[in-house]
Amino acid sequence: ADGELVQYHYGLKDLVTILFYIFIAIILHAVVQEYALDKINRRLHLSKVKHSKFNESGQLVAFHLTSVIWCLYVVVTEGYISNPRSLWENYPHVYLPYQVKFFYLCQLAYWLHALPELYFQKVRKEEIPRQLRCIALYLLHIAGAYLLNLTRLGLILLLLQYLAEFFFHMARLVYFTDENNEKLFNVWAVVFVVTRLFTLTLYILVIGFGLPRVESQALDPERGNFFSFLFNNILFRMSVLLLVCLFQASVMWRFIHFQLRRWREYWNEQSSRKRAAAAAGTKQQTKLLKRDSGYHENGVVKAENGTSPRTKKLKSP
């Protein structure tokens, strides 16, 4: 009422909060599975492999959609989009608004809950390493941004990442319901390229131009200043930017390779369908020609009108 702004810092009590929301995430996971995904699976009659992938994409679509809307609301209300300078101004960002802190704690809780879900969902053994790698990368980046006071930059990066992931898993769901419908994969491809470009631009803007201009350039872990003194060194700054560019280039190369393989498989499938249709048309035309020239029925050659081609003998009266 008196206009005071309450802000928060991270501490050991965050672990208790995260543990509580891990149980909440497990309950919500079960609700989505029971009342939405299982009912759809009964109608589609998918194979075991597709059933597992459908459940994975269904859960991630719900999570990514919720996270995109929530993250967009946070960055808009906090003014991080309207004022890009706020991403690095007054670094380190030790004290957080309530909604920013709560968002990060919920994100950590969700990706930690994904570990026991691997057992509850009976994920196949060959799928476990891929999912563990994905979970570990998300936990590493989210916890790193939270503990190293890069929460503002982390919010924008999560928004871009979740937006691309939402379209990808939505395209997978549509594909499982109708294998001939791959239009949403094209939408995902465009969104993926755009988000990669924005991510690379954001890295260059913050690392190359923002953090080197921070007033406090001394290493001060007690105040949460871990990076600004490093980025003041042009050699270190250029090395980090080079690593970021190489990583994004590798991601784009894998994406282009995937798209080329998918398009090649699509065109091969289309050409095989055309050949099958042409063969069927030729076969049908051959049958018509045989019908026109006469055909055999019960060992007797008959003409088009059904009469025998032999001349009939007239019986004497």
- Above 50 in pLDDT, residue 317? no
Q: How many CB atoms lie within 10 A of CB 254?
A: 10
Q: What is the pLDDT of residues 130-184, one digit of tens each?
A: 999 999 999 999 999 998 888 999 999 999 999 999 999 999 999 888 877 778 8
- Residue 62's pLDDT is what? 95
SS3 295: strand
Q: What is the pLDDT of residues 245-301, one digit of tens each?
A: 898 889 889 888 888 887 888 788 778 878 887 777 777 776 666 555 554 445 555
pTM as predicted: 0.80
- Looking at residue 274, its amino acid is K
- Residue 227's pLDDT is what? 63
Q: What is the pLDDT of residues 204-261, one digit of tens each?
A: 888 877 777 766 656 666 666 666 666 666 777 788 888 888 988 898 898 888 888 8
Query: Which sequence spans correspond to the domains of the chain?
Result: 7-273
Q: What is the pLDDT of residues 5-64, one digit of tens each?
A: 888 988 899 999 999 999 999 999 999 999 989 888 888 888 877 888 899 999 999 999
Q: How many CB atoms lie within 10 A of CB 228?
A: 21
Q: Report residue 308's pLDDT band, with 50, 70 and 90 as the boundaries.
A: low
Q: Which of 65, 66, 311, 269 is nearest to 179 (CA)?
A: 269
- Residue 105's pLDDT is what? 97
Beta-carbon contacts of residue 149 (< 8 Å; ≥ 6 apart): 91, 92, 93, 94, 224, 225, 226
- Residue 59's pLDDT is what? 94
Distances (CA, A) of 62 to 25, 33, 101, 131, 190: 12, 11, 21, 17, 21
- Work out the mean pLDDT of the chain and round it to a whole number: 83
Q: What is the pLDDT of residues 58-113, one digit of tens each?
A: 999 999 999 999 999 999 999 898 888 888 887 778 889 999 999 999 999 999 99
- Residue 278's pLDDT is what? 78
Region at 178 (left for phi over 0; alpha for psi -120 to 50; beta for the rest) = beta
